[in-house]
């Protein structure tokens, strides 16, 4: 008994030939699917990596994100009322305590904001050079006696615009400091979120970069009110 033969439905009595299976199409589909899944996996890993680096809080003056914490191990100790020299520039902390900060809006002051305040006096001792300085606020960090760290902040007005407080140098300002004028110094102010009541002391870290240096200054201060 011979094998069965299948014929086309037209008038020609020819054996029906099976069409070749589209193998190349299947292979191409599998490769495309693998590439798509690989892209999704990579994207997921990137999202997780970003999430892992996110700060515990994003509020101004809150704890400093781990990825932004500088190395303070070699910071130079300074004291209130004692000048520290960085080249031509002299820096003195004239006040370090709890207080309030305000900005000027038109002819009036804003409502006072409670803060831990560090007031600085900056002097240029070179009569032959116009030294330029920047604000201490963008890089300044406070650490309380419990180990929590806080980034210095600027105030914001009712429109959400960042505003320097009175005597506080703005984040984008580059100021020329002369040595031959009646006012031979420049004031700057750094404000932090007030530490908890139970924190008996704080350590303030100030970068030397706004004054042409490369290191860090460390000020230890009691957490007292004005």
Task: Decide: pTM greater than 0.85.
Answer: no
Contact 103, 165 (CB under 8 A): yes
pLDDT of residue 226: 63
**Res 53: pLDDT:** 38
Structural domain range at position 72: 66-222
Q: Between these two residues, 108 and 74, which has the higher pLDDT value?
A: 74
User: Residue 224 — pLDDT band, cuts 50, 70, 90?
Assistant: confident
* pLDDT value of residue 67: 46
Asked whether residue 163 is domain-assigned, the answer is yes
- Residue 13 located in a structural domain: no
Cα distances from 73 to residues 205, 207, 219, in angstroms, run 11, 13, 13
Residue 146's CATH number:
2.60.40.1240
> Residue 179: is its pLDDT beyond 60?
yes
Burial tier of 179 (Cβ tally within 10 Å: 0-12, 13-18, 19+): middle
**pLDDT tens-digit profile of 132-177?**
999 999 999 999 999 999 999 999 988 889 899 999 999 999 998 8
Considering its fold, how many domains does the chain have in total? 1
Mean pLDDT of 222-226: 83
Interval 24-70: pLDDT, tens? 444 455 445 555 555 544 444 444 343 443 333 333 455 554 446 78
Q: In whole numbers, what is the pLDDT of the chain averaged over residues? A: 78
| pLDDT at res. 108 | 84
- 36, part of any domain: no
Strand order in the sheet with 141-144: 76-78, 216-222, 201-207, 141-144, 149-151
For the segment 213-226, the average pLDDT, to the nearest whole number, is: 91
In a domain, 164, yes or no: yes
Residue 157 in any domain: the answer is: yes
Asked whether the predicted pLDDT for residue 14 surpasses 80, the reply is no
The answer, yes or no, to whether residue 110 has pLDDT greater than 70, is: yes
Closest C-alpha among 80, 220, 76, 94 to residue 145: 220
Q: Per-residue pLDDT averaged across 12-32, rounded?
A: 50
């Amino acid at each position: 008994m011979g094998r069965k033969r299948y014929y086309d439905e037209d008038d020609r009595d020819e054996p029906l030939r099976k069409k070749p299976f589209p193998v190349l199409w299947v292979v191409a589909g599998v490769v495309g699917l693998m590439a798509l899944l690989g892209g999704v996996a990579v994207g997921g890993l990137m999202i997780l990596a970003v999430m892992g680096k996110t700060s515990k809080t994003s509020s101004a003056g809150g704890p400093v994100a781990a990825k932004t914490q500088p190395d303070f191990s070699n910071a130079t100790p300074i004291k209130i009322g004692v000048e520290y020299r960085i080249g031509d520039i002299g820096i003195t902390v004239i006040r370090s305590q709890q207080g309030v900060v305000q900005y000027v809006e038109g002819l009036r002051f804003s409502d006072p904001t409670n803060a831990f305040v560090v007031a600085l006096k900056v002097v240029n001792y070179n009569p032959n050079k116009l030294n330029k300085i920047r604000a201490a606020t963008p890089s300044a960090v406070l650490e309380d006696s419990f180990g929590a760290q806080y980034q210095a902040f600027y105030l914001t007005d009712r429109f959400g615009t960042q505003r320097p407080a009175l005597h506080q140098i703005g984040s984008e300002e580059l100021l020329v400091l002369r040595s031959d004028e009646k006012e031979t110094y420049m004031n700057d102010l750094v404000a932090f979120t007030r530490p908890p009541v139970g924190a008996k002391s704080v350590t303030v870290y100030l970068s030397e970069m706004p004054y042409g240096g490369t290191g860090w200054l460390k000020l230890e201060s009691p957490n007292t009110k004005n």
